[in-house]
Amino acid sequence: MKNLLIPVFIFLTINYSNSQDFDFGKVSKAELQEKFHPIDSSASAAILFRNEEISFSFSENLGFIQQRMIHMRIKVYNKDGFNWANEKVSLYKGDPNLSEKIKGIKGYTYNIEGGKIKKDKLKGDAIFDESSNELYNIRSFIMPNVKEGSVLEYTYIIATQSPFIDDLNLQFSIPTNKLEVRVATPQYYNYNKILNPKASFLPKMRESTKDKRIARTTRKVSEIGSGSGTMLSSSYDTSNTDYKENIVSFSEENIPALRAESYADALNNYKAKLSMELAAILDENNIVRQSFSKTWEKVSKSIYENSDFGGQLNRTTFFKNDVEEVLKDIEGDIQKIFLIESLVKSKVKWNGVYGKYAQNGIRNAYKEGEGNVADINLLVTAILRSQGFNANPVLVSTRRNGIPLFPTREGFNYVICMVELGNNYMLIDSTEPFSSNNILPSRVLNWKGRVFANDGSSSWVNLLSNEPSVESTMLNATINEDLLAKGTVRQVKKSHVALNYRKKYTGVSSEDHVKGIEANKGDLVVSDLIFQNDKDIYQPIRLSYKYELSDGIDDIGGNLYFNPMFFLGVKENPFKLKERTYPIDFIVPFKDKYLINIALPDNYKVESLPEPLAMEFKGGESKFVYIAEKNGKYLQIKVELNIVNPIVQPADYNDFKIFFEKTIEKQAEQIVLSRIE
């Protein structure tokens, strides 16, 4: 009988969605009673059914109207899945003629109470508008009475006169049992269809056509009779236009979750999705009436010519006096750039809003002291240009926004500044108080950016720095008779590790800073903390403190056992999966260096030291060195982990996992001291 259970379970799992009724409102007790997902037991929620249909209907007054219908049914297994009860819908408003409107919002939350299905209706007071930016409004709604075990179901329609189609998501952060997608477009709209080539899940796209007809009615007015007996008569003529409807559809089951993995921050780059680029509008004879096929040069030019982008760069009079005062008697270009960047950071604070177009305008942002990303970084660019620097804006798609699959204005959502000095260049993001030239916040470090020259031409520029982020640590230790390890730690942090440390601890009280250092390090007590260059972003951070560690040494049979790295180093391998779906992405190259000096306690000698180790991964893309040696009355340990290439592809995951595991095992090896008789 045990053998019979296996194929039955597999059959039920594979055909799980086939037995369901997905008509709106037809939620079953079986769905409500399900305690965990049958395939992915770790899922906090699952999409039981998603149906997305895009269609175009013809209006004699307006032409083709696009309607996008969404129907979602979601199972919530535990509290971690409650966030799926909050739906946010972005509605384009950048062009009034192409704006999006939402209608027909309807939803219910289903629970079992007293053995019966109870449903709670989504009411109007749970539907509201959130803060918006220059291009989008956000309509949100929150499903009522959500509990562990609830099933949520909602539907809505987005209508617009725009022929442009937003990306269709075919994968989500939770598993999807059943997905139905259908896009029906008139033959007059020609689209390029692109599935994300980086996605690990590749759905099957089906294409077909369907005959459609547009019926037009025309009223004709004519005169009957003559003279005073003339009368008006009306009649109606009907004409038909036949055309083809091009249909793209997907029908998929058991779609795996797009689940976060260690060091894989930019998941949108790997999501299964369909992008539909409007290439052209055709006439009834299939001749191109209007072309939309774009190159990156055309996209860049259209953005640059916008008054809220390129138009901002010529507004220079309002900051003239302040800049002249700041740069008075300053000769060096690097120092001038630094002072201009510092001026903007002191004058304008980032309001947290992304965008490639200025929200308030650089003049208003400067006077009011607040602005979005474009306000701030276009302002930096304008000031640098006014002082004769070859400074240009750079369009960026942030890590969470993904990488655009084809040339499109909407593929960019951020702008930074680039300054060229001879054959070198600097990248500046003045929204981040602790960033410096070429040390950009991680949200920006996504592939390449598009830089605009003063004449409107554009080209790609690499955003990723080859300079490693370096953290150097020196630890001195003595061992007391009561087995207390104590000593000093000195650290130097450079580049991105310094940026991240400043963001975390600058302005934090010494008490809270000490607690942060002590956290998750056993019985560690830190004192006399000194934090230098916390605000001087052009200098490395220098950190020093005294410590006492009471649980770092064991006395076993008269011998002393201890890990010479004490509370330093990596304790656990973050790479635990058997297989990797997405690349490991450390974002930037980095180097961790440790130099540890331990004074031998009196009356003890070295019984054993860890053997030296030097190893490489993939021809030097990552390196590790460990050396432990005795030098007179001292033990000296040198450890260095160097990640030269911050991207590890899934095909290399197992080899890198083994490499990284060995570095952790080596750092965990112990020294043994024996008593001198």
Per-residue pLDDT of 144-174, as tens digits, reads 999 999 999 999 999 999 999 999 999 999 9
74 close to 177: Cβ distance less than 8 angstroms? no
Residue 170: the pLDDT is: 97
In this prediction, residue 197 has a pLDDT band, given cuts at 50, 70 and 90, of confident
CA gyration radius, the chain: 32
In this prediction, residue 200 has a pLDDT band, given cuts at 50, 70 and 90, of confident
User: Out of 228-232, 261-265, 393-397, 505-509, which region has the weakest mean confidence (pLDDT)?
Assistant: 228-232
CB atoms within 10 A of CB 356: 27
Alpha helix stretches (DSSP H) within 589-628: none
User: Out of 246-260, 442-456, 478-492, which region has the weakest mean confidence (pLDDT)?
Assistant: 442-456
| 654 membership: H or E segment, kind and range | helix 653-668
Residue 410: the pLDDT is: 72
Two structure tokens written together for 26: 């037809």
Angle at 564 between CA 562 and CA 566, to 5 degrees: 80
- The sign of the CA dihedral 326, 329, 334, 335 is negative
* Nearest partner of 388 among 423, 409, 364, 419, judged by Cα: 419
Instruction: Write down the pTM of the prediction.
Output: 0.80
Q: Residue 459: beta bridge partners?
A: 451
| 499 membership: H or E segment, kind and range | helix 496-505
Two structure tokens written together for 39: 């395939």
In this predicted structure, the answer to whether residue 20 has a pLDDT above a threshold of 50 is yes
Which letter does DSSP use for residue 580 in this model? -
Average pLDDT of the residues in 490-513: 96
Question: Pairing mode, if any, of strands 469-479 and 590-599?
Answer: parallel
Higher pLDDT, 212 or 6: 212
Higher pLDDT, 516 or 581: 516
| 379 membership: H or E segment, kind and range | helix 373-386
Exposure letters 61-78 (e unless 16+ CB within 10 A, then b): eeebebebbbbbbbbbbe
Average pLDDT of the residues in 502-521: 96
User: Out of 382-396, 399-413, 653-667, which region has the weakest mean confidence (pLDDT)?
Assistant: 399-413
CB atoms within 10 A of CB 626: 22
In this prediction, residue 224 has a pLDDT band, given cuts at 50, 70 and 90, of low
Two structure tokens written together for 146: 């959500």
Higher pLDDT, 634 or 263: 634
85 close to 148: Cβ distance less than 8 angstroms? no
To which residue do tokens 């750092």 refer?
Answer: 667
In this predicted structure, the answer to whether residue 8 has a pLDDT above a threshold of 60 is no
Residue 571: the pLDDT is: 83
479 close to 599: Cβ distance less than 8 angstroms? yes
User: Out of 218-232, 333-347, 437-451, which region has the weakest mean confidence (pLDDT)?
Assistant: 218-232
* Spatial separation of the C-alpha atoms in residues 274 and 292, rounded to whole Å: 18
* Spatial separation of the C-alpha atoms in residues 308 and 357, rounded to whole Å: 5
* Nearest partner of 440 among 469, 413, 460, 470, judged by Cα: 469
In this prediction, residue 5 has a pLDDT band, given cuts at 50, 70 and 90, of very low
Q: Percentage of the chain surpassing pLDDT 70? A: 93
Average pLDDT of the residues in 331-350: 94
User: Out of 19-28, 405-414, 614-623, 647-656, which region has the weakest mean confidence (pLDDT)?
Assistant: 405-414
Per-residue 3-state assignment (H helix, E strand, C coil) for 384-407: HHHCCCEEEEEEECCHHHCCCCCC
In this predicted structure, the answer to whether residue 15 has a pLDDT above a threshold of 60 is no
Total residue length of the chain: 677
* Nearest partner of 450 among 303, 333, 338, judged by Cα: 303
Residue 498: the pLDDT is: 96
> Which residues, in sequence order, are CB contacts of 155 under 8 Å at separation 6+?
24, 69, 70, 71, 72, 104, 105, 106, 107
| 64 membership: H or E segment, kind and range | strand 63-76
Per-residue pLDDT of 231-252, as tens digits, reads 666 666 777 889 999 999 999 9
Give the chain's mean pLDDT: 90
Q: Residue 561: beta bridge partners?
A: 554, 672
* Spatial separation of the C-alpha atoms in residues 544 and 530, rounded to whole Å: 5
Residue 477: the pLDDT is: 97
* Nearest partner of 75 among 85, 61, 67, judged by Cα: 85
In this predicted structure, the answer to whether residue 387 has a pLDDT above a threshold of 90 is yes
Two structure tokens written together for 358: 């200025």
* Spatial separation of the C-alpha atoms in residues 540 and 544, rounded to whole Å: 13
Per-residue pLDDT of 272-313, as tens digits, reads 999 998 888 998 888 888 887 678 788 878 888 889 999 999
Per-residue 3-state assignment (H helix, E strand, C coil) for 163-198: CCCCCEECCCCCCEEEEEEEEEEECCEEEEEEECCC
Sheet holding 206-224, edge to edge: 116-121, 100-113, 151-160, 63-76, 45-59, 176-186, 231-255, 206-224
* Spatial separation of the C-alpha atoms in residues 657 and 666, rounded to whole Å: 14
Residue 7: the pLDDT is: 31
Average pLDDT of the residues in 70-81: 98
Residue 11: the pLDDT is: 33
Per-residue pLDDT of 540-559, as tens digits, reads 999 999 999 999 999 999 99
Residue 2: the pLDDT is: 33
Exposure letters 107-131 (e unless 16+ CB within 10 A, then b): bbbbbeeeeeeeeeebeeebbeeee
User: Out of 184-193, 450-459, 527-536, which region has the weakest mean confidence (pLDDT)?
Assistant: 450-459
What DSSP line would sit under 309-326, residue for residue? TGGGGG--GGGHHHHHHH
In this predicted structure, the answer to whether residue 345 has a pLDDT above a threshold of 80 is yes
Residue 400: the pLDDT is: 82
